[in-house]
Amino acid sequence: MIGSKAGRIALAGVAIAVCGGLALAQQARPPSYLKPDQWPDSIAILAPPPVDGSEAAKADRAAFEASRSLAGSPRWAQAIEDVQLFGPKAHRSFACAAGKAITPEATPVLSKMLDRLVIDAGGSTNKAKAKYSRTRPLIGHDDAPICVPREDWMKTNGSYPSGHSAAGWAWGLVLVELVPERATQISARARDFGDSRWICGVHFPSDVEAGRVMAAATVARLHADPAFMADMATAKAELAKAPAAEGCE
């Protein structure tokens, strides 16, 4: 656990950046595996976000505008569900992809592990978020629907890269390693989880892609962490005994 003042400030930043406005006080959040100074450096790894007026920026804006027509659709409903980052509700669709129940009862270590990955993967995006302070696509477009309530933090929290997308991609990478025979299903779910952020209207597609890059770097770094590797071994054993996921389409 991070006990220093700097560490507490860093984790508070993660709470805002990756929780999509979910109040940290709603429930106790888990500790990260890594200390903030061990997170991969997003400024060094990522290129800057697309420059206003560039073809890439125009494509980002076009994706935002086109996806507003999805409001009220089943894909929109999935984007709303994908706002969740902690606990069984957040893990349910990944459980379906993995074909195994992922719950505090069936897989206690894995369930906590996925929660901890949110802090590490999301935290890895903090430096670039602060440096670039990219304005989110919804700002200045007050009449455009988004899949979550508009909140003041959205005006100041950087859009690039997406911490939410980083968390979902980290889940996918870890679960593919644990259940390799379900690699296709898990990877597709992780992709859709990230895409839900620009479908929701709170990120651009390039934010989501950058989040995935940071997730890959963070999960690779975690493989050198003894506590993470011990949990991986336990999680694999838990999944071997876990029942099949229920309620999956």
- What is the pLDDT tens value at each position of the chain, 249 positions in all? 333 433 433 444 444 444 443 333 345 678 999 999 999 999 999 999 999 999 999 999 999 999 999 999 999 999 999 999 999 999 999 999 999 999 999 999 999 999 999 999 999 999 999 999 999 999 999 999 999 999 999 999 999 999 999 999 999 999 999 999 999 999 999 999 999 999 999 999 999 999 999 999 999 999 999 999 999 999 999 999 999 998 887
H-helix or E-strand spanning residue 183: helix 183-200
Q: What is the DSSP letter of 21?
A: T
Active-site residue flag, 60: no
Active-site residue flag, 207: yes
Residue with tokens 């990955």: 117
**Helix, strand, coil share (%) of the chain residues, nearest 5:** 65, 0, 35
Active-site residue flag, 197: yes
Tokens encoding 80: 């709303």
Catalytic residue among 192, 203, 212, 231: 203
| 167 backbone φψ class: left, alpha, beta (φ>0; ψ -120 to 50) | alpha
Q: What is the DSSP letter of 151?
A: -
Active-site residue flag, 223: no
Catalytic residue among 120, 192, 207, 231: 207
CA distance 18 to 101: 24
